[in-house]
Chains A and B, each alone.
Chain A
Amino acid sequence: MSVAPAGAETAAAERLDRRIRLAAVLVVLGLMFEALSFVSLHPVAFFAFLAPGALLVVVGIAIYLWSIASVRT
């Protein structure tokens, strides 16, 4: 089994951190838009739930899943 150099490991960990942070920010923003969309009973509120709300959450989840799937141990 080959062992990655310490510098490469640190870089990979930092890259993972950046992706996790991005995913978390997108999920938080998306959930906030989703919650705000319930303030009004109107077709526009429904669209606000879908985009940006659900869209940001889905992209955030995708980035999170991609980031953990692409981790090399």
Chain B
Amino acid sequence: MLSTGALFALAVVATVVLAALPALRPALTRGRRGRILAFVTLFLLPALLTAGGLKAHMEQAKSTEFCLSCHVMEPYGDSLWTEDAAYLAASHFQNRRVPREAACYSCHTDYTMFGDVNAKIRGLRHVWVQYVSGPPAPEEIELYSPYRNRECLHCHGGARAFLENDFHVEMLAELRSEETSCLDCHGDVHDVATVGERERWTPPGEAGE
């Protein structure tokens, strides 16, 4: 069975071949069949393929591999493997509370292209900073705005363990209104400044690989 990527590639190749016909012999499009060919290859298929391709890229951008493909993000990736359950990102990642293949996106759903217009503009700026002006040190990177409880409550909000904790229930209104941040109590998240010095968790069976 062909993967989505292979099907997309095949569709692109077919469209390119067909669209090359009016490019080489535009007079073909004067007849009825030629007009239909031109409409399909110069409008319908390219529009569908571009929309499908954009969707595929957006999906790929949710992957952990995509986020960590920039060098400056590597310590954040390393912090997911920290051998210390106190670190929120590490404990979520290692215990599969978030899918490992989309770990970053699970907790940062409004980052760059997934956020509002300002977030998208910041995403453009990040590319500029990465390749032109030079990125800051990983430990100097900060969120543009305080981390929102929405990201935590999306999963924990209705969870039994959360609701059976009296303290959480007492604070629920404050948490929902963002008056109090979840990170006020659960504050150790990535701590990339010291990630190199901390022990790294290796899943059993993967030692020495």
Contacts of A28 in B (CB 8 A): 16, 19-20, 23
Whether A31 contacts B43 by the Cβ 8 Å rule is: no
Q: When chains A and B are docked, how far (Å) is the Cα of A16 from the Cα of B15?
A: 21
CB distance from A71 to the nearest CB of B (A): 10
Whether B43 contacts A35 by the Cβ 8 Å rule is: no
Contacts of A58 in B (CB 8 A): 50
Interface size on A, residues (CB 8 A): 36
Contact of A34 among B26, B53, B131 (CB under 8 A): B53
Interface residues of B in 176-192 (CB under 8 A from A): none
- Name B's interface SS: helix
Contact of A38 among B9, B22, B26, B41 (CB under 8 A): B9
B152 in the interface, Cβ–Cβ < 8 Å?
Answer: no
B56 in the interface, Cβ–Cβ < 8 Å?
Answer: yes
Contacts of A16 in B (CB 8 A): 26
Whether A21 contacts B22 by the Cβ 8 Å rule is: yes
Whether A47 contacts B50 by the Cβ 8 Å rule is: no
Q: When chains A and B are docked, how far (Å) is the Cα of A54 from the Cα of B126?
A: 21
Interface residues of A in 42-73 (CB under 8 A from B): 42-47, 49-50, 53-54, 57-58, 60-61, 64-65, 68
Whether B26 contacts A18 by the Cβ 8 Å rule is: yes
Whether A61 contacts B47 by the Cβ 8 Å rule is: yes
Question: Lowest 5 A-B CB distances belong to which pairs?
Answer: A24-B23, A17-B26, A20-B26, A64-B42, A35-B12
